[in-house]
Amino acid sequence: MSRIYALVNQKGGVGKTTTVINLGAYLAQLGQRVLLVDLDPQANATACLGIDHDAVAGGTYDALIGRAAASDLILHNPKLQLSLLPSSPALAGAQVELVDMDERERLLRAALQDTAGRFDYVLIDSPPSLGLLTVNGLMAAESGVIVPVQCEYLALEGLTQLVQTLGRVRSALFPGLAIRGLVLTMFDARTSLSQQVADEVRSHFPGKVFRSIIPRSVRLAEAPSHGLPISAYDPSSPGGLAYRALAAELLHGDGVTIPRSARGKV
């Protein structure tokens, strides 16, 4: 049975796509079959893996509207052992088109049923908004929501709005929706502000914040321009080590045993 997580934050620039790509890459390196779902019309996750979204023949949009089965649209990178349901320009208009469709909030969940049993982990990269596409991501997140939180000013204000949205979705559509954990990103140990934000997040969400902290890192910022996750670009960098630790922490928390062949990579 797949563990399906949506990575969500309505605030842009918090490291959401970076977390999807690099967490997914390290989960794959640790022996998991991983599918990344690019639900963002900006297609950043698709671009970060070196794919030109303008050249995508079919992707998340086609799966949502039922034009094609999701399994027929998945791209696989054998070198990284990562699979991707890519975004495409057509997804930009999906929020308008989906409004009149039946079960419009559950279209992604239905589409992903086509991939059942093929993947251990499915990570959904939601757009930086709280619109219909994000609600589809939340409705598909059977295992919970992972929230990247930038260790900068106004982080908590954005979290308040997100928690309210999660509450509305939980009460109206999906009572089982849960926060799996919050990931502190862009942490700068040289500033007291980063530590203050980290402390505040932990106090507001006790027991829900991952121990692994993602630092500000030039190498993390460079990796997408090469179409690579940090695990392939510079695994020994602070960012690489942090995401490797996060993947191991997620697996441990999920009760997943790392295969013997991959244990030396932890």
Strand order in the sheet with 144-150: 75-77, 82-85, 34-38, 121-125, 3-7, 144-150, 179-185
Burial class (CB in 10 A: 0-12, 13-18, 19+), 101: middle
What are the residue ranges of helices labelled H in 40-153?
44-48, 60-64, 70-73, 94-98, 107-112, 132-140
Q: Which pLDDT does position 257 carry in this prediction?
A: 85
- Has residue 189 been placed in a domain? yes
Predicted confidence band at 10 (pLDDT cuts at 50, 70, 90)?
confident
Tell me the three state secondary structure of residue 240.
Answer: helix
Token code pair at residue 198: 């980290």
Nearest to 81 by CA among 43, 48, 103, 49: 49
How many Cβ atoms sit within 10 Å of the Cβ of residue 106? 16
- Has residue 264 been placed in a domain? no
Question: How many structural domains compose the chain?
Answer: 1
User: pTM of the prediction?
Assistant: 0.95
- Has residue 66 been placed in a domain? yes
What is the arithmetic mean of pLDDT over 9-14? 88
Alpha carbons 105 and 98: distance in angstroms, whole number? 9
Residue indicated by tokens 């997620």: 250
- Has residue 227 been placed in a domain? yes
Burial class (CB in 10 A: 0-12, 13-18, 19+), 225: exposed
DSSP code of 187?
A: B
- Has residue 224 been placed in a domain? yes
Q: Is the pLDDT of residue 266 over 60?
A: no
- Has residue 231 been placed in a domain? yes
Angle subtended by helix axes 155-172 and 132-140, to nearest 10 = 70
- Has residue 266 been placed in a domain? no
DSSP code of 258?
A: P
Share of the chain above pLDDT 70, in %: 98
CATH, residue 113: 3.40.50.300
pLDDT tens-digit map of 95-132: 788 888 888 999 999 999 999 889 999 999 999 888 89
Q: Is the pLDDT of residue 185 over 80?
A: yes
More confident residue, 149 or 157: 149
Q: Is the pLDDT of residue 263 over 70?
A: no
Alpha carbons 65 and 94: distance in angstroms, whole number? 9
- Cβ-contact 5, 180 below 8 angstroms: yes
What are the residue ranges of helices labelled H in 40-131?
44-48, 60-64, 70-73, 94-98, 107-112
- Has residue 262 been placed in a domain? no
What is the arithmetic mean of pLDDT over 67-96? 90
**Domain, as residue range, for 53:** 3-256
Predicted confidence band at 261 (pLDDT cuts at 50, 70, 90)?
low
Q: Which pLDDT does position 264 carry in this prediction?
A: 65
Alpha carbons 169 and 139: distance in angstroms, whole number? 8
Q: Which pLDDT does position 111 carry in this prediction?
A: 95
